[in-house]
Structure 1
Amino acid sequence: MRVTPFVKQCFAVSSVVLNMMSYGLVAGFNASLFSELRRTREIPLDIHSESWLASLIGLTLFGGSVISSLVMEAIGRRPAILASSVFMICGWILLSLASSFPVLLTAKICHGISFGLGTIGTILIAEYSSPRHRGSFIATSPTAILFGILIAHSLGMFYSWHGLSRILLFFSLPGLIAAIFSPESPSFLVTKGRYDECRKVFRWLRGTDENDELETMIKTHMVLKANKQRQRIKVLTLIKNKATCIVTAFKKREVRIPIIISMHLMAINQFCGSTVNDMYALDVHTALYGTNVYMFKVMTSLDVLRLTAALSAVYITKKLGRRSMLLIFVSLNIFVNLCLAGHIFARQRDLLPASHMVIGVILHHFQCFIMGTGSIPLIFVIAGEIFPLEYRGLCWMVSSIFSSTFMFVNIKSAPYLFSLFGVDGTLCFYALILAYSLVVTRIYLPETKDKTLQEVEDEIRGFALLSHEEAFELKSDKADGED
């Protein structure tokens, strides 16, 4: 039986998606870890040590992201995914043996580095995929994360955190196996001038129906490479400073605009409410319901809903444009955050009827549905489509810096915000961040649905109305003018 290109793309994409599931396992594991340690005091934690343990992933994610950006440009996208799998497995081994706070920290460092190395996953999926499947494939990444969270929360009802870490170790092995047998990205191969190998891998993944995209990608790189060679001597002679070259890159529209977009997308991803719900589930559930007795049952229900929502996002991304989805779902996210804040405020002052828990459950589930359908998957989809090929590593590194910074600030500050303003005040603060980020992103974001990565890059650069031949000539003329 002939294996179709779509099946081959599914296999290649699975190397990323299975690793994304492992990241969900880590996020879901935190609820079991922190709630059980608070109860048993097996390893004593105060508000400072707990916040560091939870937020350390943001700092180590930054380190892993920098490494992944260097790796993806120097030796390939696939090695970064392989290294991510290895660090993930090492983290689970350390957690299964942990009996002290330093060992817990070391395990969290391994998981954070794994997260950072895996941040290029959306780029790799975008480079593997056909334009008509790209949005749906990228949308499977947050679906996999949510599935991992569901697994961790479901098993957390039956196992201690030590036993759970041993079980979750085996769920992380398939990602390593899939990465071993997956091909390298055609886009990476073309950046290294390995055009014959690029054609072979591209046609293995896509068949022969998309040769125009392949040849356009190769021809564009040849033009950029020739321009770069003409400029190199002058740049090295006059500047002799790599930092200045980076500054020059940031002055280019095709670099500057995607970074502005990704920075605000990462803010939406971190402050939509998902991170706090997973990291500080005990505080959120106590504020919403007045008790944490039903925490794991409610969390499992929420995870099922988020997973269903994420699966529906795979379909929605094929039907709706990126800009429309961004406006609809982030606006709804802002609305439900404010509703949850109002509910908590009213419950704490006995302004609600006796059945107030039902109201909280409905609002909580609605929030998770909105995040799972739009706010979270859409971030992955857009971030995988907007970076230019020549500076993809640099752009992703900068984007990852913002992501890790926002994650660290969010997780580290949450306990202190809870104590100062309450969970309701914190949700209102998050709603303001979402509103600001939505406005900026809508201003700069072009529509990327059903376009090749080269077409998106040309549109951001300002060549959208030109033919490919005219675009090549304009790029060459522009480079000659800079010389």
Structure 2
Amino acid sequence: MEKGLLRKSLSIRERKHPNEEVFLEAGLSRKSPREVKKPQNDDGECRVTASVFLSTFVAVSGSFCTGCGAGFSSGAQSGITKDLSLSVAEYSMFGSILTLGGLIGAIFSGKVADVLGRKRTMLFCEVFCVIGWLAVALAQDALWLDCGRLLLGVGIGLFSYVIPVYIAEIAPKHVRGSFVFANQLMQNCGIALFFIIGNFVPWRLLAVVGLVPCVFHVFCLFFIPESPRWLAKKGRDKECRSALQRLRGSDVDISREANTIKDTIEMSEIDGETRISELFQRRYAHPLLIGVGLMFLQQLSGSSGMTYYASSLFQKGGFPSAVGTSIIATIMVPKAMLGTIIVDKMGRRTLLMASCAAMGLSALLLSVSYGFQSFGILPDLTPTFTCIGVLGHIVSFAMGMGGLPWIIMAEIFPMNVKMSAGTLVTVTNWLFGWIVTYTFNFMLQWNASGMFFIFSMVSASSIVFIYFLVPETKGRSLEEIQTLLSNSVQ
């Protein structure tokens, strides 16, 4: 497939530049004889350099900020409700308004990332995050709390699109899955940190702690290159090659990769930029169904609600919330690290289905546990079942279903539809995330057993969806994946 794509790319470039055949056949750009003879590493696309590591680390530092925001509501719940006398409804609004802000950010994420570029979009995100954390730390009533949390959500919503896209566009194809999965790993690190220190630190100081990684991220962003694919899309070929050279190493000939990127973008732009209203065509049906479907199923599995209100789940099951959240924090980071290591070994499909199976079983155990509790059956086992169920669901989510849909979203869409399709997929995630997080506490009080039974059925449906519709993308270049999906509907 890569050969077919290269032949197609070469034919376009030959028509535009008929005098470059010799150079293109060798995978080189036009150079002087001295430059052509210079020995270089031809396997540059597969090299993992210090620059790629640094760029990925800096990008996922924004994911750490996301995790801090998600973990804040669980550790701060008792302190905020006591200090500001909030009702269940008011705190549910505070907890869920992060996802509402994420929805607002997601609506504009694709356009902002396309106009500003990946790097400057991440800087733009941190403006919202810093102001949001300050508003929460200084809040004297529910209104200021909600405004701060909303602004934080806007920044996180923008992050959720631009971080995986940036990493997918700079990482070598054989490690792209692991590098993008680091997005989920760092989110888990942020959640784990706030789960642990939230048991000991007052909620206002906890909000100030949330500012620290934001400032660190802003500083580090000045030391990484822009995405070469975005630069190529904007016609900035010289900067594209410079960024690609920096990422692949100074001794690597990047001409072949640069030419492939440029030619793929030229092919995708034959039809021009695609608006959201134009996405619903047969040729985009398969990738769009995969992207939207995975985000829909990810949120309806109840994952956001369980992360935001983990302490409430432990309290309802009679298990000490401080102990429960500390156990989760201790285990979820190593599990996410394991997912980062095995995602490019097991593949996306296998890891997704294994994650959904474990989530479904955990939700079913919680359904049985809370059902027994309502009838007074086996009351001594309810705390144990609750701990195992909550722990199992959050950890199995972190290993697969949490990060993999974002990896796949960043891989499957061509450059000409990445902005509009990525926006739609991200909006889907945050819209259903808001619905779940807002209704979670009410459903927990109304019928906890029934709620978790629904979540278990959603996880079972996810396995079927993944088995029949989601292709394996590990080890393929972005251009190969997009060609594969476009051929599947022809």
Q: TM-score range by the shorter chain?
A: 0.7 to 0.9
Unaligned runs of 5+ residues in structure 2 are 1-46
Paired residues of 2:133 and 2:149 also in contact (CA < 8 A): no
Residue in 2 aligned with 1:84?
125
Paired residues of 2:268 and 2:415 also in contact (CA < 8 A): no
Change (3 A) 1:427 1:359: closer
**Is 2:159 the counterpart of 1:118?**
yes
Separation in structure 1 between the aligned mates of residue 101 and residue 176 of structure 2, nearest angstrom: 29
Paired residues of 1:139 and 1:381 also in contact (CA < 8 A): yes
Unaligned runs of 5+ residues in structure 1 are 233-241, 465-477, 479-483
Change (3 A) 1:146 1:218: same
Q: Amino acid of the residue matched to residue 195 of structure 2?
A: H
Q: How many Å apart are 1:108 and its aligned residue?
A: 0.8
Paired residues of 2:231 and 2:237 also in contact (CA < 8 A): yes
* Pairing partner for 2:257 from 204, 213, 216: 213
Residue in 1 aligned with 2:287?
258
Separation in structure 1 between the aligned mates of residue 387 and residue 146 of structure 2, nearest angstrom: 34
Q: Amino acid of the residue matched to residue 326 of structure 1?
A: L
Separation in structure 2 between the aligned mates of residue 341 and residue 24 of structure 1, nearest angstrom: 27
Q: Amino acid of the residue matched to residue 277 of structure 1?
A: M
Q: Identity rate of aligned residues, in percent? A: 23
Deviations 1:329-387 (A, max 9, x none): 21221122112211222234332273553343333333333122122122222222112
Paired residues of 1:131 and 1:451 also in contact (CA < 8 A): yes
Separation in structure 2 between the aligned mates of residue 413 and residue 360 of structure 1, nearest angstrom: 20
Paired residues of 1:19 and 1:176 also in contact (CA < 8 A): no
Paired residues of 1:24 and 1:144 also in contact (CA < 8 A): yes
Deviations 1:380-401 (A, max 9, x none): 2222211211111111110111
Residue in 2 aligned with 1:28?
71
**Is 2:486 the counterpart of 1:456?**
no
Paired residues of 1:138 and 1:381 also in contact (CA < 8 A): yes
Residue in 1 aligned with 2:454?
429
Q: How many Å apart are 1:68 and its aligned residue?
A: 2.1
* Pairing partner for 1:72 from 95, 113, 118: 113
Separation in structure 2 between the aligned mates of residue 43 and residue 363 of structure 1, nearest angstrom: 32
Q: How many Å apart are 1:246 and its aligned residue?
A: 4.3
* Pairing partner for 1:444 from 450, 469, 472: 469
SS in 2 for 1:69: helix
Separation in structure 1 between the aligned mates of residue 384 and residue 101 of structure 2, nearest angstrom: 39
Which is further off, 277-286 or 139-148? 277-286
Residue in 2 aligned with 1:268?
297
Q: How many Å apart are 1:250 and its aligned residue?
A: 2.5
Residue in 2 aligned with 1:389?
415
Q: How many Å apart are 1:5 and its aligned residue?
A: 4.7
Separation in structure 2 between the aligned mates of residue 362 and residue 249 of structure 1, nearest angstrom: 42
**Is 2:136 the counterpart of 1:95?**
yes
Q: How does 1:9-158 map to 2 (within 5 A)?
A: 9-38=52-81, 40=82, 42-119=83-160, 120-158=162-200
User: Which stretches of structure 1, 4 residues or more, deviate above 4 A after TM superposition?
Assistant: none
Which is further off, 117-126 or 50-59? 50-59
Change (3 A) 1:353 1:449: same
Separation in structure 2 between the aligned mates of residue 223 and residue 282 of structure 1, nearest angstrom: 51
Deviations 1:103-152 (A, max 9, x none): 11110111111111112211111001001111111111111111111111
Residue in 1 aligned with 2:19?
none
* Pairing partner for 1:324 from 350, 368, 371: 350
Deviations 1:69-125 (A, max 9, x none): 111222211111111122111111112211111111110111111111112211111
Change (3 A) 1:434 1:354: closer
Separation in structure 1 between the aligned mates of residue 297 and residue 114 of structure 2, nearest angstrom: 27
Q: Amino acid of the residue matched to residue 222 of structure 1?
A: E
SS in 2 for 1:385: helix
Q: Amino acid of the residue matched to residue 54 of structure 2?
A: F
Residue in 1 aligned with 2:362?
336
Q: How does 1:167-178 map to 2 (within 5 A)?
A: 167-178=209-220
**Is 2:224 the counterpart of 1:161?**
no
Change (3 A) 1:105 1:356: closer
Q: How many Å apart are 1:211 and its aligned residue?
A: 4.6
Separation in structure 2 between the aligned mates of residue 260 and residue 272 of structure 1, nearest angstrom: 18
Separation in structure 1 between the aligned mates of residue 485 and residue 60 of structure 2, nearest angstrom: 28
Which is further off, 4-13 or 348-357? 348-357
Paired residues of 1:386 and 1:456 also in contact (CA < 8 A): yes
Separation in structure 2 between the aligned mates of residue 345 and residue 284 of structure 1, nearest angstrom: 14
Residue in 2 aligned with 1:467?
none
Which is further off, 296-305 or 277-286? 277-286
TM-score by structure 1 length? 0.86
Q: Amino acid of the residue matched to residue 51 of structure 1?
A: S
**Is 2:311 the counterpart of 1:282?**
yes
Q: How many Å apart are 1:181 and its aligned residue?
A: 2.2
Which is further off, 343-352 or 136-145? 343-352
Separation in structure 2 between the aligned mates of residue 63 and residue 267 of structure 1, nearest angstrom: 17
Residue in 2 aligned with 1:481?
none
Paired residues of 2:173 and 2:477 also in contact (CA < 8 A): yes
Separation in structure 1 between the aligned mates of residue 195 and residue 446 of structure 2, nearest angstrom: 29
Q: Amino acid of the residue matched to residue 309 of structure 2?
A: Y
Change (3 A) 1:357 1:57: closer
Residue in 2 aligned with 1:468?
none
TM-score by structure 2 length? 0.85
Residue in 1 aligned with 2:425?
399
Separation in structure 1 between the aligned mates of residue 253 and residue 475 of structure 2, nearest angstrom: 15
Paired residues of 1:58 and 1:112 also in contact (CA < 8 A): yes
Q: Amino acid of the residue matched to residue 217 of structure 1?
A: I
Separation in structure 2 between the aligned mates of residue 59 and residue 357 of structure 1, nearest angstrom: 32
* Pairing partner for 2:221 from 174, 179, 185: 179
Separation in structure 1 between the aligned mates of residue 369 and residue 254 of structure 2, nearest angstrom: 52
Separation in structure 2 between the aligned mates of residue 271 and residue 210 of structure 1, nearest angstrom: 43
Residue in 1 aligned with 2:3?
none
* Pairing partner for 2:231 from 179, 183, 189: 189
User: Root-mean-square deviation (CA), in Å?
Assistant: 2.2
Paired residues of 1:60 and 1:112 also in contact (CA < 8 A): yes
Paired residues of 1:11 and 1:182 also in contact (CA < 8 A): yes
